[in-house]
Every structure is written in C-alpha cells, then in structure tokens.
Structure 1
Amino acid sequence: MLKSLAATLVFASGLAVSAPALAAPNDYSKDENWLCRPGRKDACAVDQSTTIVAANGDLMREDFKADPKAPIDCFYVYPTVSTDPGGNSDMVIDHAERRVVEQQLARFGAKCRLFAPMYRQITLEALRSNMMGKPIPMDPQLGFNDVRDAWADYLKRDNGGRGVVLIGHSQGARVLQGLLRDEAAMTPAKGRIVSALILGMNTPVGADKTFASLPPCTAASQTGCYVSYVSFREVAPPPANSRFGRATEPGMTAACVNPAALGGGSAPLKAYLTNGSTTAPNVWVKPEKKIDTPFVAVPGLLTGTCVEKDGASYLSVKVNADPADPRTDVLTGDVIANGKVLDDWGLHLIDVNLTMGNLVEIVGAQGAAWGHKGHH
C-alpha cells in the first residue's frame, strides 16, 4: 500500500489528463458494485483487533466489534490504490481496495453502518505514466460520476432519513469535495449530513473556514461540520514546494481541523498503526514481545497540533520519544524514493491511521448527538 497511497500525490498535483470515450454508468443497485454494505461478509468484515503497547512496555489486547444497529451511516470514498492496467480502474474488487478499507474504514463500523462504492478511479499506472512524461488517457470525471451515482443510489435505497458521515482520503477526498460542492447531488441529503471527514487533501477555505456551507467541527457533539487536515512531522514541516498544506485558490488557505483537539491546541493522537507492514517499525517494544494483531496502538507517543506557518496549514505530528522506556520511538510512514525521504509528501501514507481513534470517537459522539436532536 505504500506505493499506491504515495502515488495519490500526483493526482493532487492537477496534472493534465486526456479523457477516453464516454463510459456507460454503473448500476449501483447491484451489490457487487459496492466494497461495503451493511449485513454482508465483505471487505469491511475484517479483523480490527489491536495490541496496545503502554509506555512501560506492557501489552493489552483490544478487541473490536461492529455495531449493526449503529444510529447513523458512513459513506466512504477510497484513495488511489488501483493496480489495474489503463488510465481508469475497472469495477472488480481486488486486494488493493480490500486493504485500504481495512486500514481506513472498517473501524468506523463501531459507530455507523458502512457504505463504500467501487469507482473507476485514476489508476497507479496512469499516475506513473504522467510522472514519466508519457501520459496515457485517463478520465478523472469518470470516477466522480461513479461516486455521485453511488451516492444517489444510497440516498434512494438505503438512507431512509438517517444521518450520514462522508469520509474520503486523498483522491477520494478530492472526489468528496466535488460531491459536497454539487448542489444537485447534495440537495436530496439536505439536513442529513452529520459531518464530512476530508482527509489528506487540501480543503480550500477563506477567513470564515467554511467549506461547501459546512463550518469546521469545534466540538465532538457538533453536527453538520467538517474535519480536514494533511499531516507532517513536527521536525519536517511542509517545504516551499509542497502541494499539501497549501491551497492553490487565491486568498484561500488549506483547512486544518485537528481531530484530537477540535477546539484548537495540542492533544494526543489516538493512532491505530499497521503491524507487520512497510509503514511499521521493526520492533514495537524491547525486549521484543510477539504481537499478532493487525493493528498496534501506542498511547501517548504522538501529539498533534494544527499549525499555520509560512503560508502552509497542516497537522503537525510530534513524536514524544523517551529513550529511557522500552517502547519504540519510531514513527514510520514517510514517502521514500530511491532511499530518500520526500519531505514535501509529509505523512500522507498514514494520514488516517494517525487519528483513527480520535475520528471514530468524534463520529460516535456525533451519532449520539444526532439521536438526541430527534433525528431518526
């Protein structure tokens, strides 16, 4: 997943693309066009168990259980992961799509019913071809049209007046931004948007910080608001050439809403990091103890703060390293090319993992607030 998520940045750069012939719309009333839907053993029905590594080195297992009776829904658009040939992906569910859902969506199942459509996104091959100066035909509008059609199908068949959280990362977040700006698509959902989690993508805002009529979330119980950020290490802020953390629209800044401190300031990040992957340290604790869960939590190791500096706005991630304790002081997740860390990419690979616990808590509080307000 390292290379696939890293390549998403090319999509963010706004490279010129050429559109192939118009493709027929997908039929989202067919369940096979969805990665996740409620009540199925599908891509979201995956193990989310976690080993919590305390600062003293003690281990504790945290089991996970989805809530089939969750009061609200979550509608998710995944980032660039497709390994399909050609400029746009097909609609066949592959390992790459399953993997990213495991990382970025399944844990929300504790607080909301999960809906995740497949869509004909821009592929890794198309992005790499652009990077090499040999672009192949690709159509970013096709993926957007698919998500818009899936959204319309969800509203028609499944919503039933329920509140819904919109979640997207990187290419998925950009598609989500377009959806939120599409008046025709959003009018049928008027009053039902619990929140929008627009992650790992610059969300352009003015002085009032509003995006698509949504204000930033400032409290966990607030509804009808958004959370958005891009993440960088405290010791490696966005360089001048960084495309993340800087809005390209004149007079706008990139929004930063810290999921760990919605009212502002610094707070611990409740990260769920992947065990046994290219974005995991070799050893979580010394002396080494066997950890066999797919996720690891390291409470107190990471702190997040929204920073505005030198024209950039971003979530600054501090590693609270303590050489005296047995736990790792390593946070991996940088984008590396030819052995060199690319500072302008930040911690894009783990944007969502970094704050997953905070985000799930927010969605849970929003779901409860939604119910208390008399929505149903």
Structure 2
Amino acid sequence: MTLSLRMAASVTVLLICGGFLNSTVAAAQPAPAIAPQWLCSPDLASDPCDLPSDTTDLGTGKVTPAQSVNESDKPVDCFYVYPTVSDQIALNADLTAQPEIQSIASYQAARFSTQCRVFAPIYRQMTLTPGIAGGVLGAPLAPLAYSDVLAAWNDYLAHDNNGRGVILVGHSQGTMMLRKLIHDEIDPNPQLRSQLVGAFLMGGNVLTARGSTVGGDFENVPLCTGRGETGCVVAYSTAVADPLLSLFGNSSIDLLSAPLGLRTGPAYEVACTDPGPLSGDAGPVGITIPSSPFAFGIISILLGYTSFPDGAPTSATTWTTSAERAVGACTEVNGYRMYQFHLTTPGQQVNELPLFSSHLVDMNLGYDRLVSIADQQIQTYLAGN
C-alpha cells in the first residue's frame, strides 16, 4: 500500500468514526473527578513500573545485570502519564488497569524506576477508537481525562510528595495532559517549579515561541539546553522519512492540543530537544523494550507492522536492546520540527504510519539516554538542595 493510499485510509477511518460520534457526543459530558486510582505507586506490592533493569544488547552481546535500588533510597519521584493505548470501545476508558495499559507502563516508565519512585494514575483517557476521533471532533473527552490526572497529582502532593523533587514523564495523550498540568499548576507556582527536577514530554507537540525556549505552553519552565540542567523540558517526536502530513511536529497542523485549550498556531513552534548532547551520548543507539510481549491489541499489532516488522527484539533478560543502531538529529522539514533518525547498521527498518510518523518508538529509541538525562538532572538537583 503506498503512502498516499495509507493516508487516505487513515482519513477515511477518522471520518467514519466522526459519523458514529455525531450520535454519541451528546452523551459524553464531563463527570466529576473521583478518587485517584493508581497503576503504579510505591504502596503497591507490585506494579508494571517495577521491572528489574537487567538488559541484553543484541548489537554487542553485552548483558547488564539488574540494578537494585530500594524505594526508600530513591531521592526523587516520577509522575508518569501513559499515552493513548486503551482498546475499549468507548469514548473514554474506564478506571481499570487493562493489559495494554500495564504493558505501555512497563515499556515507558519502568526504566526510570532505577532513578525515582514512580507514581502513575489510571485515567479515563480518550480511547484509541473512537475516543481520539471524538475528542478531535469536539466531544468533551479530554477534560474528563485531565480531571483524573489533576486529581491524582493533587492527591500525590497532599499525601506522598513531602517536598521531594519530581520528574514528569509522558507520551502522546499523556504529554498533552502534562502540558496542561504544567501550564496550570506548576509554571505559575514558584514552589512547585523549584521542585521540578525535569520533564520528559515525548510525542505531544510541546510549544514554545519561535526561536525561544519558553513562551508557548510555559512562560517560566524552559526547554533543556545543557547537560544536568534542571527544571526544564525534554521534548521531541521521532520520524524516519521527511514528514509530509503528520499529527506531530507542526504547530499549524495540530488536532490534539485544542481539546484541552492548549495553544496552537503558526506563532509557535514545536519543541525538539536533541537527546544526544543533553545526555552526553551522541553515538548510535538501539531501541530498548521489555522482553515480554506487549499485551495483544491495537498497539501490539501496530508495533508489529511499524517498529518491529521482523519481530520484536527479545532475550532471556527483562529488557532487550535491538541489534540495529540509529543516529538522529532535530530537523525542520516541510514545516515539521522532528527528531529524524536513520539506521547505521543493517537490519529491520522502522516503518511509519500515516499521520503518526515513528510515534511508537519516541520513548524507546535511545531509552537509556533519557534515563541518563534524568540521572544527571537528579544529581544537579540534589547538589542544589
């Protein structure tokens, strides 16, 4: 199927969803926030954010043993909001830890657990289908999802934070929720800004004023520009080919920010912070994922088609890094600011989805560089506090 045909197919699906939603939007009214439900928390005996860190690198054959860190020894916390992953046939997901939600938390948050206590709320997110289409078409779905995230954040501050530093981690819809949270709750609050160790807001169109590190989503919280810098944001979306039509990277073609009242438009630019210089590792990197299969569903099917058409990398250890290596850089092509990468070794290629580029590997491509950035931020934060 050619790229243009696949784009047409995606648009057709959106329109079909839109036809269905015309009769259901009226029923999708915001509901009051309810008591937080935690997917990951230090109070849980086990959760999907607590995977051991032992890793096999298929490119080098190196096996790295698990790093054992007691919860009480972790100096800061991470607050993680997962991306669009729910397979439920509903506009908003319910508050259950569905298998696909557990899998994505392991994929995206568990690697950070060597650095921080991980708190991750379950929230009534816009579902893969028809929720995202419904939100784009105007149903009040995103505010309902955000009400859960905000309630969990306030609960965490009231009962668990105790003045500790915090790292925010999100992807896609999770990043959209955290953009709203930082904009409303953290950016205007000097005390909370002083506790912000850093934020990893991946695949979600973080905006700044053109040519600036602030002035879009946030007036005071800047993009990260140097190693060990704290209180700043790491943000980018990945791509392989030059973007032609994507939901990510272009502030003028952004259907995902408006449902929460976030800024859009040509006065702003989408953030791209190169993780190479920020981590101190600009060399080729692999894709690091849990060795256990992703829970079956829409995301696992898409991962099989796009990211791992020859099969996901796996090994006897908890984590596996792909044999293939890639290098990348922030680029601006056709009005899109993206982290574009290409393979430096032979192996399976990363295919791209129409409208989504290589969205599914935003976090896991060079995953350990993000963990290294977090570690350096923590050291700087502790030295200053």
TM-score between both structures, scaled by the size of structure 2: 0.78
Aligned equivalents of 1:144, 1:186: Cα separation in 2 = 18
The secondary structure found in structure 1 opposite 2:198 is strand
1:273–1:280 contact (8 Å) kept in structure 2: no
Specify the code of the residue in structure 2 equivalent to 1:23: A
Alignment CA distance shift 1:298-1:81 (3 Å): closer
1:86 aligns to 2:93 (yes or no)? no
What is the CA distance between 1:267 and its match in structure 2? 3.9
Unaligned 5+ runs, structure 2: 1-9, 253-264, 295-303
The secondary structure found in structure 2 opposite 1:354 is coil
| CA distances 1:256-304 after superposition (whole Å, capped 9, x unpaired) | 001222299954335313545624353799xxxx833353224781112
Specify the code of the residue in structure 1 equivalent to 2:202: L
Paired position in structure 1 for 2:32: 24
What is the CA distance between 1:228 and its match in structure 2? 0.4
Aligned equivalents of 2:54, 2:318: Cα separation in 1 = 6
Paired position in structure 1 for 2:274: 258
- Give 2:331's match in structure 1, choosing from 266, 291, 307: 307
- Give 1:358's match in structure 2, choosing from 348, 355, 369: 369
The secondary structure found in structure 1 opposite 2:83 is coil
Matches within 5 A, 1:149-168: 149-168=151-170
1:46 aligns to 2:57 (yes or no)? no
Specify the code of the residue in structure 2 equivalent to 1:306: C
Alignment CA distance shift 1:283-1:129 (3 Å): closer
1:200–1:230 contact (8 Å) kept in structure 2: yes
User: Aligned residues, how many?
Assistant: 336
Paired position in structure 2 for 1:293: 317
Specify the code of the residue in structure 1 equivalent to 2:35: D
Paired position in structure 2 for 1:338: none
Question: Which is richer in helix?
Answer: 2
| CA distances 1:30-79 after superposition (whole Å, capped 9, x unpaired) | xxx10011143122223443211235xx3535434344111111101100
Aligned equivalents of 2:251, 2:97: Cα separation in 1 = 33
The secondary structure found in structure 1 opposite 2:328 is strand
Aligned equivalents of 1:165, 1:254: Cα separation in 2 = 21
Paired position in structure 2 for 1:147: 149
> What is the percentage of aligned positions where both structures have the same residue?
31
The secondary structure found in structure 2 opposite 1:209 is coil
Aligned equivalents of 1:263, 1:61: Cα separation in 2 = 19
Paired position in structure 1 for 2:352: 334
Specify the code of the residue in structure 2 equivalent to 1:332: V
Paired position in structure 2 for 1:177: 179
Specify the code of the residue in structure 2 equivalent to 1:256: C
Paired position in structure 2 for 1:71: 75
| CA distances 1:129-155 after superposition (whole Å, capped 9, x unpaired) | 659x9x796621001111111111111
Unaligned 5+ runs, structure 1: 1-6, 323-328, 336-341
1:220–1:365 contact (8 Å) kept in structure 2: yes
1:214 aligns to 2:217 (yes or no)? no
Aligned equivalents of 2:322, 2:140: Cα separation in 1 = 41
Paired position in structure 2 for 1:325: none
1:48–1:107 contact (8 Å) kept in structure 2: yes
Matches within 5 A, 1:225-240: 225-233=232-240, 236-239=241-244
1:189 aligns to 2:217 (yes or no)? no
Paired position in structure 1 for 2:202: 199
TM-score between both structures, scaled by the size of structure 1: 0.79
Aligned equivalents of 1:172, 1:117: Cα separation in 2 = 11
- Give 1:120's match in structure 2, choosing from 118, 124, 132: 124
Over aligned residue pairs, what C-alpha RMSD do you find? 3.2
Alignment CA distance shift 1:273-1:192 (3 Å): same
2:281–2:369 contact (8 Å) kept in structure 1: no
Alignment CA distance shift 1:274-1:317 (3 Å): farther
Aligned equivalents of 1:34, 1:51: Cα separation in 2 = 30
Alignment CA distance shift 1:181-1:129 (3 Å): closer
Aligned equivalents of 2:132, 2:180: Cα separation in 1 = 24
Alignment CA distance shift 1:190-1:225 (3 Å): closer
Alignment CA distance shift 1:50-1:129 (3 Å): same
What is the CA distance between 1:218 and its match in structure 2? 1.9
